[in-house]
Each structure stands twice: as structure tokens, then as C-alpha cells.
Amino acid sequence: MKENNKEYITRREALKRMGAFATLLSLELSGVSSLASCANKKAKRRIIFFFTATGNSLFVAKLLSDDVRSIPQELKKSELNYEADEIGFVFPDYAASAPLIVREFVSKATFRAPYIFSVITYGNAAVNVCEWWNRFANEQGLQQQYIKSLLMVDNYLPVFDMNEQIKIDKHTDENLATIIEELAAQKEYIEKGDLGWFNEEGLERLRASHFPMTAERLIAINQEKCIGCEFCTRVCPRGNLKLTGDGIRAEGSCEYCLACVHNCTQKALTLRSPMAGRPGERNPEARYRHPDISINEIVRANQQ
């Protein structure tokens, strides 16, 4: 099996790629984890838990700490009790709420840290996702000091063409720089929601149309295009795809994360349309993965 051999990118390299301002930020981060080189300043231990399908959230997580832990991998453990100086969560916004796997993790685990925060990556409209997440986490007994959203490429294929998305300047680097500074200062802040043209009932309908989802209902597989590389089976955080004698089969309770579709090397996976005769996605020829995240990093994060 031929793998994409893009090298693992370290946090320092990623900071460098973000441009000159990142150099300053690395100084800001000097109190955190392994970048703490200042001898008389005690290093803070910051753990980041992340979930990702196309790399945006992993890219952010890696900039925030060297101790990044994949939620799908953590969920395999029997003990889920965590303690650190700072604990952070980085994950994508799905329908102005959190992916089911992130909710499951927070409801099962316990976290002890004086400073707990979340960064929620989104692509178009964050709406009230931070307030939603704060409420949900509170209900699970998790109090957070800081929650902010970060605009990045929108990987939602039914609505967006990835070839267009990657051309839009969403000021991600500048906004991320602000977040890094605010976290270094342990700012207390929960982002307020802006419902825009949504209302709560509309949002609930949107969420209900996404979750729960099944792989059979969502994913169409063109067996002619498939070469059996099995990246789709390895990037699925639910282990829903299997290579059988008749090609790839997708079944089971689905995250709707689209990792399998975006990371298919042959574009053999597409989204089914909820309406007969209508295309299930905007551009089946356009796929996305964050340019600084390799397919093997997504595999390591999600493989079951």
C-alpha cells in the first residue's frame, strides 16, 4: 500500500510557516510545555484534546501544545481522568454544536485544571456554538474559562466547493495569533453567539438532520475508481468502512465528519443526496485537507 509520505510537521515548523508574527508568538508561548526554555519560569503543563477530519483542528491543536491527544484514541482507554495546569479542547463546529464523539468524551472523562479552554474551528457561521458548548460542558460538570471560535476552510461538502474555499482569506493566522496570546495570558472569555438569520428552532432542525447519521445513508462508493488503498477505512473515527471481497463497504453509526470522503486518494467516495435526482455535494472533484497536516496524521488520530 502506497502512503502519502508527507513528513510530520512539528509545532515549531508550523509556527514558522504561519509567518513572522509566529516568532513573537513562540515567545508568548514560552510558559507552555516544551517551548518553556526560560530557566527560572516554571513550565505549565498544557494538554490539548482534539478531534479532526480534515486537519484544521489538529493544525490549531499542534500550535497550542506539544502534548496533543486525539479524542478517538483517548476513548479507547478505560481510565479517563486527566489533570494538568491547563487543559484545552480543539474540534470542529458541526451544525452549531460539537461532534458526537467530542460530546461522548467530555461526558465520560473527568478533567482537573485551574484553566480550561476550547477553540472551535468553523468555516462559515459559528452562530452560538461557543454558548452551546459551554452549556453542554457545564451539564457534564466541566467548567471552562475560555471558549472562542476560529474561522478556517469550510469542509462541508454539501454546500461548499473546496476549490473556492481555499482561495478565501479568512484571516485565520491573525485570529489564531490573538487566541494564542489570550491563552498565554489565561484570559477569561466565553464568546457570545450571533444567531444571524438562524433561530433556535431552525438550529435544532439542522442538528436533527445531521445527527444521528448512518454511513449507509451518507456515503456513496464508486467501486470502479477505488484502488483499495484503505485510507478511508483508516481515517474513520468510528471504524465504519471495511475492505471486503466486493470492495469498500460503509455501514454503522456515522460522525458525519467527512474524513473518508475528503481523504480518499481517488475521489471514489461522494455524498449521497437527501433528495432524489439532486447532487449530494457542490463539487465532487474538490477535496480538502489542511496543507500542513498529512494523511498519516489523520490516520494516527482516527484509526480504530
Ligand X SMILES: Cc1cc2nc3c(=O)[nH]c(=O)nc-3n(C[C@H](O)[C@H](O)[C@H](O)COP(=O)(O)O)c2cc1C
- Site residues, ligand X (CB under 6 A): 52-57, 92-96, 121-126, 152-156, 210, 256-258
Q: How far is the CB of 88 from ligand X (least distance, A)?
A: 14
Scored b (16 or more CB within 10 A) or e, 273-287 reads eeeeeeebbbebebb
Partnered with residue 90 across adjacent β-strands are 50, 119
Residue with Cβ nearer ligand X (53 or 264): 53
Q: How far is the CB of 66 from ligand X (least distance, A)?
A: 19
Residue with Cβ nearer ligand X (88 or 123): 123
58 vs 68: CA distance, rounded Å:
8
Residue with Cβ nearer ligand X (31 or 57): 57
Residue with Cβ nearer ligand X (31 or 241): 241
Q: How far is the CB of 257 from ligand X (least distance, A)?
A: 6
Omega before residue 237 within 30° of 0, cis: no
Which DSSP category does 86 fall into? E
Burial tier of 28 (Cβ tally within 10 Å: 0-12, 13-18, 19+)? middle
Residue with Cβ nearer ligand X (45 or 267): 267
Q: How far is the CB of 78 from ligand X (least distance, A)?
A: 27
Grid coordinates standing for 207? 442538528
Three-state SS string across 3-18, please? CCCCCCCCHHHHHHHC
Q: What angle do CA 23, 28, 32 make, to 5 degrees?
A: 115
Q: How far is the CB of 292 from ligand X (least distance, A)?
A: 12
